[in-house]
């Protein structure tokens, strides 16, 4: 095991989990800042060339977990590993954001879905070689189809 050390903190308009959009078809368009600690700033060299980033962060205000339960995206329960629930055995999260610009140790991004002050554990450039026709959306596609039915 290891003890994660934050490399920075999220600056976000969200101060309450209730304010973060959830559910089917939700869009995360809010802008925020990934405020990287000074000792990690050299690790940002060349990040400017990427349009999107994976941000690995901690659900630092989540307690406990449920292996099976409801989702705001569906009226049916699902396994926690098939959802984006913050109540997980290890409170680790992954978000893809659009990099708008870098200002020293601050990365201005769009697409935040984290609370203000959330610890950032790592950042990686977004790269995917999976063609869109090969991606499957599992139960989300089924829930979206049910929602569209009269």
pLDDT digits (tens, 9 = 90+) for 65-117: 999 988 877 888 999 998 888 889 999 999 999 999 999 999 999 999 999 99
* Predicted TM-score of the model (pTM): 0.85
Residue 83 burial by Cβ neighbours in a 10 Å radius (0-12, 13-18, 19+): buried
pLDDT at position 34 is: 98
What pLDDT is recorded for position 63? 87
Alpha carbon distance, N-terminus to C-terminus of the chain = 50
Which structural domains are found in the chain, ordered by start? 8-148 (2.40.30.70)
């Amino acid at each position: 095991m290891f003890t994660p050390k934050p490399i920075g903190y999220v600056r976000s308009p969200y101060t309450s989990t209730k304010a973060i959009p959830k559910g089917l078809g939700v869009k995360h368009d809010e802008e925020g800042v990934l405020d990287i600690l000074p000792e990690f700033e050299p690790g940002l060299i060349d990040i400017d060339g990427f349009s999107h980033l994976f941000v690995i962060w901690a659900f630092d205000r989540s307690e406990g977990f449920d292996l099976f339960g409801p989702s705001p995206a569906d009226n049916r329960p699902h396994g926690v590993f098939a959802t984006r629930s913050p109540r997980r055995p290890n409170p680790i999260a992954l978000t893809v954001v659009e990099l708008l610009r870098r200002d020293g140790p601050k990365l201005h991004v769009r697409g935040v879905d984290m609370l203000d002050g959330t610890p950032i554990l790592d950042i990686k450039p977004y790269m995917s070689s999976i063609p869109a026709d090969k991606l499957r959306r599992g139960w989300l596609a089924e829930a979206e189809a049910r929602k569209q039915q009269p």
